[in-house]
Structure 1
Amino acid sequence: MADDDQQSLSQSIKSRLQEGVQNSVFKDKGLLDPDAVIDEDRIVGRDQQLDDIITYLRPVLQGNRPPNMLLYGPSGTGKSLIINAVCQQILELADAQGDQFGVIKTNCQTIKSHDRAVYRLVENAAVEAGVEAGVPESGVSTDRKLNRFYEILSDHFDSVIIILDEVDLLVGRQRDPNDEPAYSKLLYQLSRASQLGHIEGHISVAALTNDPRFMEELDGRAESSFNPQDVVFSDYDANQLQSILERRRDAYQEGVLEDGIIPLSSAFAAQDHGDARKAIDLFRKAGEIADRRSEETVREEHVRDAQEEAERDRTLTQMQGLSTQKKLSLYATAVVPIYSERNLNAVPNTIAYRVYQSLTEMLDVVKKSRDSYLRYMREAETYNFVTSEKRGRGYGSGVHKEYTFIDDPEVVAETLETDIRLEDVERDEGLLRSIVNTQVKDFFGGHD
């Protein structure tokens, strides 16, 4: 490419990047990061939990050890938000007093073993203290890593709080159902560190979990030494979600949000167990869609499109690991309510299996038995794609299963059409409609 052409291309790219920044509907997009540490005036519906955590952590500023805490409640109900907001303020106040307060945060979701969890704590403590980890990830014992962790804490902090998010997922490699889960061993070690003289300062643990029965799974020694103060987080309702988004409205430019955007985003999230993270994600994605389309306002259609994208992304992630036969069984079931001339919210398995048989012929793939189809659909239930119910068709007509989709069947079908074996199906809606309605009429026959 000639120098002049290269320079012209560079200017074009730069111009388009600058235009995208200048014309964005966002003013401060960081406010719509669900993990952002936010000011107290943006916290909604969590006054009691905020008061409790402030009370439990106040001893840090008095040179005393705070208690261990267990924060539990469904995802997106403010556990991380509140503990992080309070810890941020303690960091600032402790610094002003000349005290060394440390916050060591670790998400346990992807940690597979007790050893890996200890090393992650070493890494995070080293970053917080501004030093080298000092031990390798492998090749040394877990005890050596744990001692290095205690050494970093003793050398650099007067008081530390360790935040273990999604702690219930740190089960470790349990070879036997009776084996102690990794989180039980870790909580025992951390909660006894000061008492056993492993560190010179104060250490406390805040464990965050979705499981209200978490304490029941702890080993007796761990339960006794951890002995936390409980802070319970319930689902947000639609009004609280709306208030949360209202307090983040200034993430957008003045006047770009049409009426109804915030109530609609809140309503969608309220349907999904009152998850504030999902409400904020939806609110942000609607703006991203408006930016992508170079539109100057965020409208309800952007929220609906964002919700559909979110459903499709979630469904796609869940479905990626399914075999072609399982995908085909699910697809055959999903297209029935989409193309049926009869209003079918629940899909009889007999209709869906016959549609499946037709699809295998269209795609020239192996046709599995009815029992195999039913087995695949039972697995789809375990993934929470569908629910099923047995229904009778009247005296002497037998019993059949009917499937109802958790998500919009249209979203499920569109997601599955991305599979290479289903590309041809997408292009022939007329044939699909004909196949579905032939089987529907045949099934119901004289049973209308």
Structure 2
Amino acid sequence: MKITRTDFPEDFLFGAATAAYQIEGSGFGGCGPCHWDTFAATPGNVVRAEDGAVACDHYHLWEDDLDLLTQGNFDAYRFSTSWARVLPEGRGPVNAEGLDFYDRLVDGILERGLKPFQTLYHWEMPSALADLGGWTNRDVAHWFADFAEIITRRIGDRVAAIATINEPWCVAWLSHFLGHHAPGLRDIRAAARAMHHVLLGHGAAVERLRGMGQPNLGIVLNFDHCTPASDNAADMLASATQDAIFNRWFIEGITKGTYPDEALAGLAPHMPVGWEEDMVRISQPLDWLGVNYYTRHIHAFAPDTPWPSTRDVVGPLPKTQMGWEIYPEGLYGFLTRMARDYVGDLPIYVTENGMANADEVINGAVNDHVREDFLFAHLRATERAIADGANVKGFFYWSLLDNYEWAFGYEKRFGIVHVDFETLQRTPKASYHALARALSR
């Protein structure tokens, strides 16, 4: 039997998530340029060189999109507020149209009986700040805190929760070491500084907002289950190293004020001078933790490559359109691990979980039953984690809409609502209808 609302605590929140650059349309409403615009305009970075200028045109169609949430029996909506839309130059003059848009959006969320969960930064670094080094520049922490204050003074009285940063591993490592996301660097010094400064920015924003009396502050971290390719000591170390970089660096920086030795083994020589003095600011208490989880990776030792000297091994499990293994046990593992090792009884939210699938509209319908199975398997994993003591308070599916999937352009579809990117028509998929039935009261 599929899981239903009644299988969860009465106050458990079910929601869906989106992000500003992926759905709004950065070409509208006086939004400034961000580093994704230039990254996409550089040949070879993004599928078909697509960008977020129009995306899903949520900027104009937001009311219809919010109606999809209420019709789907959701309780909450997780959205992000674009730094470049609010401050087109990253600093200085405020874009009144941008603030007005988020004002209307939050009011619209509340009018529909939904709880607004806001994320301050979901990857759109204003180009003017990217020119100054973005997350590699220590001053980014102050720039980010200023942005956090400006947007919070406008809508902070009405949001249910605020996350500072979405997926700092992607912001720092994926973007500055692996080069897959904007700004597209492959530089260990830049990566080490971004890995630290993104947490310093989090700390500065928390400090600023707490000083304003803003409640319910958290961060959204992404986690990836690490499996060694064998029980060989070298493969075990490779897996532990990746676990330290991906999973432990950010949560330990925040909750313990330290970074894991396995990650510092490679990053310490490239860290900014005096970084240790920032750890008190970084490790301020959270009000809640967001957990994003999608998949696992299998790691093997790669002795002929520079640190971290690991390589991925293709696993045997069924895979999504992204090529990611479907492994719901990993979600259970991280929810219980966070509660056991890091945050205790602090509220935890599954802030993203979902799968890409090559969905098509056929005779007016999208039969994505594989996504239904994925979704309910991960809900069941969440239920198990709650039963085993994790204080999980909500689950947000990623994503409400098919959208701009970063370096994959509009090719990968994560939504429970299909978007035709030529006509912008929305078509709820079978997974949307199945979830709506499960959430009916």
Normalised to the residue count of structure 2, the TM-score between the two structures is 0.28
Normalised to the residue count of structure 1, the TM-score between the two structures is 0.28
Give 1 or 2: higher helix fraction.
1
Give 1 or 2: higher strand fraction.
2
**Highest RCO, 1 vs 2 (Cα 8 Å, sep ≥ 6):** 2
Structure whose CA Rg is larger:
1
